[in-house]
Chains A and B, each alone.
Chain A
Amino acid sequence: MTAPPVRFYQVGSFAVGNRLLPDDDQTVQSDPNRTNSLDSGHRACQGCGEALGARYALDAAMRASEARLVAVNATGCLEVFSTPYPETSWRIPWLHSLFGNAPAVATGVAAALKVKGRSDVRVVAQAGDGGTVDIGFGCLSGMFERNDDVLFICYDNEAYMNTGVQRSGATPPAARTATTEAIGEEPGNVFGQGKNLPRLAMAHEITYVATATVADLHDLEEKVERAMRLHGARYLHVLVPCPLGWGSASCDTIRVARLAKETGLFPVFEAVHGKVTGVSAIRHRTPVEEYLSIQTRYAHLFGERPRTDIISRIQSIADRNIAEYQLLADDAITVEPEKAET
């Protein structure tokens, strides 16, 4: 009896590893010899989504580039917790310059590599949401527009966490931050503001734009690999929950990210040359309360006098995303293949 082609296995493609898959189909993270681009000893908070997301993304990029990778980092949590003198947690060549210039620095790195004929070495730039959607946006837009050969990764935790949780252009409505306090008639961040950076990236018609979360490693790694196969400006926007800033339990980082996707609040999709080409369908559609209620940044919406009005406004954002991106499995544009399933 030869081994039949059954590929279904307990956790399918949802868990990090799967002992039954051939090596080629294993995630980078399941490899005991993975790079650990961001290594132990860093000073990120317990359960840090950004530390996790950065390792996921960069290890995948390392595999895709056959370990020929250079990373540029904006100022922010990721930079501060990884490289306080005299210790660095990076195992890859890494450069930090400023808060707002990572895309331009990366352009410079790419230009230098090009002029030196080092086509084997690839460039990744990374920043938090502040360094991406706010202070770094000018440089990012320029990098996009010139179509420089850089993969830019935004680790979005929806506020300025490094400085103590202040509002950014990526802070969602109603979220409490230190500069959008949960007081007044409209507690937390206001509705109707904020930047949708993936959409802005798509408007530049760059080669590749994708969103992902730390809750779906397979999807994230596939997107990094896809991005690394392409050249020119590419943008990956990864949702990385922040236990400190969101007020979620340190053990819930992945759960919160999963719920962000499953509620429809964070659409997970990819786009090529400005057109959406695929979405990750919602697997178990979930009302936004489930997502909001486990984060104290939304605590003012619950409690003795729940703000059902605000919750329903947030739900309508999720509903709009679901309709706009066709996030329900039945009408999904292309359902991400579950690799490990027949």
Chain B
Amino acid sequence: MDLPFAITLDVGSSHANRTGSWRVERPIYVDRLPPCNDACPSGENVQRWLYQAEPGEYEAAWHQIVEDNPFPAVMGRICYHPCETACNRTQLDEAVGINAVERFLGDLGIERGWPLPPAGKDTGRRVLVVGAGPAGLSATYHLRRQGHEVRLVDSASQLGGMMRYGIPSYRLPRAVLDAEIARVVALGVDVAFDHTVEDIQLEREAGAFDAAFLAVGAQLAHRVDIPAGDSSRVLDAVSLLHRVAVDDPPLLGRRVVVYGGGDTAVDAARTVRRLGATDAVIVYRRNRDRMPAQRDELEEALAEGVTMRWLSTVDRFENGHLMLEKMRLDASGFPEPTGEFEEFGADSLVLALGQDTDLSLLDRAPNVAVEDGVVTVLPTMMTGERGVFAGGDAVPSPRTATVAIGHGKRAAQGMGAFMSGKVLVDPTRHGLAPFDRLNTWYYSDAPRTKRHELERARRQSTFDEVVEGLTEENALFEARRCLSCGNCFECDNCFGVCPDNAVIKLGPEQRYEINYDFCKGCGLCAEECPCGAIDMVPERI
């Protein structure tokens, strides 16, 4: 059209007006560290694999997990999931059931036979890994991926360490454990069973290993001196769980007292119920609030009929009679004796008072410092002896399988750097993504999917797995509860809410770009970003 002058205008002409010049603040896309990732001792990128699981891309999600942790099915069962404790969603309704989704993915991986990433190109370096528990296996896996040769030795006749000998099968079915360990071994590992390393230095030199990793665990029960008559049956929880694991359960009688307040005490009590005890009583010197055992595990134990004697210590055990002393907490929460006693009938007493590490293999390694019964290590997990690394329960840290797996990965990185003469550089960590950066309006209200638990009657007497996995539908639901804290998940809000069309949508997985020619810096995109992945920064004027 030959348009009338000035009053009639052609479309698109406003693009000549670059409103970006109005801006005093500019939006920039950022990635922030989600609290789950931050809290994961294994260093998993939880937010990322949940994102991948959300559209049903389970294999991709599984691969994301095994980037860091080769045991999703195991950890999906026994991890105490600090990720969920840290999860921002707790401030909205309940934490995302990360652990359950991990288990779902782990089980799917086993079912479908997804292989771990292959071993790396041979580097010619050799590493000795002592101990085939979570730390040792994790280190082995990560070392093999780097292409280093690994000799994995363990004093037991099967791999798995405390995952096999300390964790009851109702929490971790052996088939699952075996499957995930087999995958690691399949990467090509020189495995030696029933092999106890007496002297690390000798063993290292004999095998000409470039490095060694000590992951010997804490398998010695911590003993306390409790006066007990000859006929009184006293044993420690580590032995109890080990014997059950190797199908040689001890006879304990009808009334069994477990003494201690940690996870092992709860495992022991629940195991005892399954072994036929009618009364399984946990005696603990403090109260419930101060009990270190995981709340979920305790709940399940109580539901299974385990009973508690709070604020009590075992004074002596004689002829089927257990003498308990009542305690009270002082102002600082520390238990102090009251002098009041109480008699309690019991057939056996199981002591679950902690575990110690057997470090005799270090006797001829004077450079390795030991403090409080554990090995001192640098951030790279290297001990005072060059080339000797340590991790898992043998070093100072919370004694969980997840932590151990993280140690294994970390040590593998440390050893890799050591062997190639490099310095291990920590990747820069993004700033944390706290709850107050989220715009929670956008998240659908969705309480957590509970994993079903076995019928109580059934599980009291069997070692069948107690907690069922999620159905696919529930796993998806749970994954989709993720708030994706601090990481763009392509909800299109920024693209939609910009009054100036100054956000460019780049397509799936490509996220967005700001068109600074037109962005006026109003900040709507940042304010309405559900996950806090946009910062407003002062414009350079």
Instruction: Name A residues whose Cβ lies closer than 8 Å to a Cβ of B.
Output: 1, 3-6, 8-20, 27, 29-30, 32, 36, 39-44, 46-49, 51-52, 55, 82-83, 85-92, 217, 243, 249-255, 258, 338, 340-341
Would B17 and A87 count as touching, CB distance under 8 A? yes
CA distance A82 to B56 in the complex (A): 44
* A250-B524 CB under 8 A given contacts A27-B496, A36-B501, A86-B9: yes
Shortest Cβ distance from residue B447 to the other chain A in the assembled complex, whole angstroms: 11
- For chain B, give the interface size range: 35 or more
A338 nearest CB neighbor, chain B only: B444
Instruction: Name B residues whose Cβ lies closer than 8 Å to a Cβ of A.
Output: 6-7, 9-19, 22, 54-56, 441-444, 446, 472-473, 476-477, 480-484, 489-493, 495-497, 499-502, 505, 507-508, 515, 517-518, 520-524, 526-528, 530, 536
Q: Which of chain A's residues have a CB closer than 8 A to the CB of B13?
A: 86-88
Q: Which of chain A's residues have a CB closer than 8 A to the CB of B520?
A: 46-47
A30 nearest CB neighbor, chain B only: B492
* A10-B522 CB under 8 A given contacts A39-B15, A40-B14: no
Would B526 and A88 count as touching, CB distance under 8 A? no
Q: Which of chain A's residues have a CB closer than 8 A to the CB of B54?
A: 9-10, 20
CA distance A211 to B444 in the complex (A): 23
Would B496 and A87 count as touching, CB distance under 8 A? no
A-B contact pairs, 15 of them (CB 8 A): A3-B56, A4-B476, A9-B54, A16-B496, A19-B491, A42-B14, A42-B19, A43-B19, A46-B523, A48-B522, A85-B6, A87-B13, A92-B11, A253-B524, A254-B524
CA distance A341 to B442 in the complex (A): 13
Would A6 and B476 count as touching, CB distance under 8 A? yes
Selected contact of A55 from candidates B16, B444, B492, B501, CB within 8 Å: B501
B525 nearest CB neighbor, chain A only: A251
Interface centre among B7, B476, B524 (most CB of A within 10 A): B524
Q: Which of chain A's residues have a CB closer than 8 A to the CB of B499?
A: 44, 47-49, 51-52, 55, 253
CA distance A331 to B502 in the complex (A): 40
Q: Which of chain B's residues have a CB closer than 8 A to the CB of A39?
A: 11-12, 14-15, 501
Interface centre among B18, B443, B528 (most CB of A within 10 A): B528
Would A40 and B526 count as touching, CB distance under 8 A? no
Shortest Cβ distance from residue B474 to the other chain A in the assembled complex, whole angstroms: 9
CA distance A41 to B13 in the complex (A): 8
CA distance A88 to B15 in the complex (A): 9
Q: Which of chain A's residues have a CB closer than 8 A to the CB of B496?
A: 15-17, 27, 29-30, 217
* A90-B501 CB under 8 A given contacts A4-B473, A15-B442, A16-B496: no
Q: Which of chain B's residues have a CB closer than 8 A to the CB of A17?
A: 490-493, 495-496
Q: Which of chain A's residues have a CB closer than 8 A to the CB of B18?
A: 41
Would A251 and B522 count as touching, CB distance under 8 A? yes
* A15-B14 CB under 8 A given contacts A40-B502, A47-B522: no
Q: Which of chain B's residues have a CB closer than 8 A to the CB of A14?
A: 441-444
Q: Looking at chain A's contact residues, is the secondary structure mostly helix, strand, loop, or mixed?
A: loop
Q: Which of chain B's residues have a CB closer than 8 A to the CB of A27?
A: 492, 496
Shortest Cβ distance from residue B476 to the other chain A in the assembled complex, whole angstroms: 4
A29 nearest CB neighbor, chain B only: B496
A83 nearest CB neighbor, chain B only: B9
Would A251 and B524 count as touching, CB distance under 8 A? yes
CA distance A42 to B442 in the complex (A): 28
Q: Which of chain A's residues have a CB closer than 8 A to the CB of B6?
A: 85-86
Selected contact of B15 from candidates A40, A82, A253, CB within 8 Å: A40
Q: Which of chain B's residues have a CB closer than 8 A to the CB of A15?
A: 442, 491-493, 496, 530
Would B527 and A10 count as touching, CB distance under 8 A? no
Would A29 and B492 count as touching, CB distance under 8 A? yes
B518 nearest CB neighbor, chain A only: A40
Q: Which of chain B's residues have a CB closer than 8 A to the CB of A30?
A: 492, 495-496, 505
Interface centre among A5, A10, A36, A46 (most CB of B within 10 A): A10
Would B443 and A47 count as touching, CB distance under 8 A? no
Shortest Cβ distance from residue B296 to the other chain A in the assembled complex, whole angstroms: 24
Would B14 and A89 count as touching, CB distance under 8 A? yes
Known: A4-B472, A18-B492, A88-B11. 11 other contacts (CB 8 A): A10-B442, A16-B496, A30-B496, A40-B14, A41-B518, A46-B22, A46-B522, A47-B523, A250-B523, A251-B527, A338-B444
Shortest Cβ distance from residue A294 to the other chain B in the assembled complex, whole angstroms: 12
Interface centre among A8, A40, A85 (most CB of B within 10 A): A40
CA distance A42 to B483 in the complex (A): 34
The 6 closest A-B pairs by CB, nearest first: A17-B492, A16-B496, A251-B523, A41-B14, A12-B444, A47-B522
CA distance A6 to B507 in the complex (A): 23
CA distance A55 to B505 in the complex (A): 17
Q: Which of chain A's residues have a CB closer than 8 A to the CB of B446?
A: 8
Selected contact of B528 from candidates A42, A91, A254, CB within 8 Å: A254
Would A41 and B507 count as touching, CB distance under 8 A? no
CA distance A47 to B18 in the complex (A): 16
CA distance A255 to B530 in the complex (A): 12
Q: Which of chain A's residues have a CB closer than 8 A to the CB of B56?
A: 3
Interface centre among A1, A11, A39, A82 (most CB of B within 10 A): A11
* A16-B11 CB under 8 A given contacts A87-B17, A252-B527: no
Would A249 and B523 count as touching, CB distance under 8 A? yes
CA distance A90 to B501 in the complex (A): 13
* A16-B497 CB under 8 A given contacts A40-B502, A86-B13: yes
Q: Which of chain A's residues have a CB closer than 8 A to the CB of B481?
A: 10
Would A8 and B444 count as touching, CB distance under 8 A? yes
Q: Which of chain A's residues have a CB closer than 8 A to the CB of B483?
A: 10
Shortest Cβ distance from residue A286 to the other chain B in the assembled complex, whole angstroms: 11
Q: Which of chain A's residues have a CB closer than 8 A to the CB of B442?
A: 10-12, 14-15
Selected contact of B14 from candidates A32, A49, A88, A253, CB within 8 Å: A88
Would A51 and B500 count as touching, CB distance under 8 A? yes
Would A6 and B477 count as touching, CB distance under 8 A? yes
* A88-B10 CB under 8 A given contacts A42-B500, A43-B19, A251-B524: yes
Shortest Cβ distance from residue B502 to the other chain A in the assembled complex, whole angstroms: 6
Would A41 and B11 count as touching, CB distance under 8 A? no
Q: Which of chain A's residues have a CB closer than 8 A to the CB of B508?
A: 19
CA distance A88 to B22 in the complex (A): 19
Would A10 and B19 count as touching, CB distance under 8 A? no
CA distance A297 to B473 in the complex (A): 49
